[in-house]
Amino acid sequence: MNFLEIFKVSLEAILSNKVRSGLTMLGVIIGVMAVILLVSIGEGAKAYITQELTGLGTNLLIITPGKTTTKGGFHPPSAGTVRKLTYDDSLALKRRAWLLSDAVPIVIGTGSIKFQNKGRDTMIIGTSPEFERVRNLYVETGSFVTQGHVDSKEKVIVLGRKVKDELFGIENALGKVVTVSDARYRVVGVMHKKGMSLGWDVDDVVFLPVTSGQELFDTDSLFEILASTPRSEDTERAISQIKDILIRRHAHKEDFTIQTQGAMLETMNTILNVLTAVLGGIAGISLLVGGIGIMNIMLVSVRERIREIGIRKAIGARNRDIMAQFMIEAVTLSGVGGIIGILLGVGIAFLIPLFVTVLPTSVSLWSIVTAFSFSMAVGVFFGVYPARKAALQDPITALRYE
Amino acid sequence: MIKLQNISKNYRMGEVEICALCGVDLDVASGDLIAIMGPSGSGKSTLMNVLGCLDRPTSGRYLFEDREISAMSDDELAHVRNAKIGFVFQSFNLLPRFTALKNVEMPLVYSGVSSQARTERAVPVMEKVGLGDRMYHKPTELSGGQQQRVAIARALVNNPPLLLADEPTGNLDSRSGAEILNILVNLHQQGVTIIIVTHDPNIAARCKRIITLKDGGIISNETVP
């Protein structure tokens, strides 16, 4: 008896009980669908983070005060800073680290911005002209902070799109004077609309010259220095150059941390890989439950057809023919369920971003292949016991079975 | 053709062991037509199961066409049942999901005959038992006599030398029963060896030999004149 014959017999048995077969398959369908869907959400998040981090600007190096031993990741600035990073540090890097294209000083704080009777609490960033280029954020009207503004500690301000809209509406903001914590600043530029990036609203922010920012926050230190290298191959050498320069300036102590974009990406990917694995694992459990459903139905099916098994044995079916018949039935149930599950999973994964924009998905081939092979394996694993039970029926008892 | 030597079949019922067959000796010659009679519980069915290679005897030798059946593996027994023996049961034992033709083709499936060749071989056999116009009916759409004829066609499709019929007319009215008996007698005249288990003396009267069992042993073995 060849494979195709047994397959036809199994298929007929499945089709003769459509509702039951369908319900049995549902377990596998949901399982496979869940695996593909959840993995695609995990992968989508990874792709999103990668894209956003790369979108920060190319080959970014972030220098923060304080030495941390962990590599990469986000962490608050260390409290036990021996020596702060200063504006002069950033100037020294810009002057002497020839592998760097830019070294941008950053101070960050929050404050209340007022214009006439309107006000808004927002994030204030003090920086230098190169910020535009390094972070890929550009001014739309007017100008960004210039070197002249920085040098003369001028009280000028560049508004993020949302801040401008909130305070001025459709009015022109350029040249107007706004108040930040009782100090008056002249608006010189308005930024392009950029939207959300990594959960941070890039439009809800204002920029000052770094020197004015330090004055506003009453500090002589920097929050961080953003540096960038023109070529990614130079990253390692650029790091050692930064270290050389800063260690010499900081009394021969390495009291700062340099993070690369790659390291941040790696950390995020590690976290998201774990997340994806956990999601996939949970979905895998539901696939396992689907497999138990198949075993259950196959046991019922064997019991129902004991007489058929007896008849088939009496006319010459060998044990392995009976075994194959029920095995193929189980594997067909799980296989067809797997295919339907894949189609539904992939379909829904493509539909989700259309309706829920914050949930990016990415369907990967490996998740499809894994889910399908797993569903087939479930069919084989949970089919063996019922099929063996069928094959080992004693023909006489089976023939007499009512 | 068949030689049973001192065949016993024992069943364990709790503490006691009961012999359903107790040292049966039997020779069946090729072309024989034998009726096996006896009261319920005399061992008729057990003897049929042993003869049909569905059951293994507890002890004794069973030679089928000079081959030792008692020593065969499950797969080899399946092959003998498939190629050498045709079964006809009291309760027909057709598969209700399949058409009459598919039921008749079934043994050929397990002999590895291709789908087309199966139909080519099954159709003439169905015509031979007078069911040429009922081939695509399901068993439930057929009368008892027709169902039993499908079962006979299924038993014959592989041209086995031996046909075993276990009370083939037991579930039929007398007219259908007579038809079935006529078919069996015809087959015997064409050279098939047939063994029929029956309660009906009228059937036994048309056989060449009547074997009577009682308490697991043969008490008479007489040739009908």
pLDDT of residue A81: 44
Provide the domain limits for residue A331: 3-52+266-400
The answer on A287 and A220 residing in a single domain is no
A312 CB near a chain B CB, below 8 Å? yes
A88 CB near a chain B CB, below 8 Å? no
pLDDT of residue B27: 93
Phi, psi of B28 (to 5 degrees): -120, 125
For an interface test with B, give the residue of A301, A315, A325, A329 to mutate (most B CBs within 10 A). Answer: A315
A 349-388 residues inside an 8 A Cβ radius of B: none
Which residue from B74, B79, B95 is facing A311, i.e. has the nearest CB?
B95
Instruction: Using alpha carbons only, give the angle A380, A383, A387 rounded to the nearest 5 degrees.
Output: 125
CA distance B224 to chain A (A): 31
Inter-residue contact A105 to A127 (CB < 8 Å): yes
Size of interface A-B (CB pairs under 8 A): 61
Which residue from B78, B79, B93 is facing A311, i.e. has the nearest CB?
B93
- Domain-ending residue, one of A228, A254, A278: A228
> Which residues of chain A have a CB within 8 Å of the CB of B115?
5
Give me the domains of chain B, ranges plus CATH numbers.
29-54+74-223 (3.40.50.300)
> Which residues of chain B have a CB within 8 Å of the CB of A309?
none
> Which residues of chain A have a CB within 8 Å of the CB of B157?
none
B71: burial class by Cβ within 10 Å (0-12, 13-18, 19+)?
Answer: exposed
Three-state DSSP class for A101? coil
Residue A65 lies in a domain: no
Return the residue of B nearest to A309 by Cα: B95
pLDDT of residue A79: 46
The answer on A117 and A223 residing in a single domain is yes
Tens place of pLDDT per residue across chain A (402 aa): 577 888 888 888 888 889 999 999 999 999 999 999 988 988 888 888 888 777 666 678 888 888 765 544 455 554 444 568 888 898 898 888 888 888 899 999 988 999 888 888 999 999 999 988 888 888 898 999 999 999 999 999 999 989 998 888 888 888 899 999 888 999 999 998 887 766 678 888 999 999 999 989 988 889 999 888 888 788 888 888 888 888 888 888 888 888 887 788 888 888 888 988 898 888 889 888 989 999 999 999 999 999 999 999 999 999 999 999 999 999 999 999 999 999 999 999 999 888 887 778 888 888 899 889 989 999 999 999 999 999 999 999 999 887
The answer on A275 and A208 residing in a single domain is no
Strand ranges for A192-254 from DSSP E: 196-197, 200-201, 205-209, 224-228
pLDDT of residue A258: 87
- In angstroms, the CA B196 to CA B44 distance is 10
Instruction: Using alpha carbons only, give the angle A40, A42, A48 rounded to the nearest 5 degrees.
Output: 95
pLDDT of residue A56: 66
The answer on A337 and A286 residing in a single domain is yes
The answer on A32 and A123 residing in a single domain is no
Return the residue of A nearest to B92 by Cα: A311
The answer on A272 and A170 residing in a single domain is no
Which residue from A308, A321, A396 is facing B95, i.e. has the nearest CB?
A308
Residue A146 lies in a domain: yes
Residues of chain B below pLDDT 70? none
Cut 0.80: pTM above it: no
Angle between helices A365-391 and A18-55 (to 10 degrees): 160
The answer on A306 and A198 residing in a single domain is no
B145 CB near a chain A CB, below 8 Å? no
The answer on A392 and A310 residing in a single domain is yes
The answer on A178 and A128 residing in a single domain is yes
CA distance B204 to chain A (A): 25
Return the residue of A nearest to B96 by Cα: A308
How is the beta sheet containing B162-166 ordered, strand by strand?
A: B85-88, B162-166, B193-197, B33-37, B209-214, B217-223
- When divided into structural domains, chain A yields a total of 2
ipTM of model over 0.90: yes
The answer on A386 and A292 residing in a single domain is yes
Cβ distance B54 to A396 less than 8 Å, yes or no, reads yes
Residue A186 lies in a domain: yes
The answer on A126 and A24 residing in a single domain is no
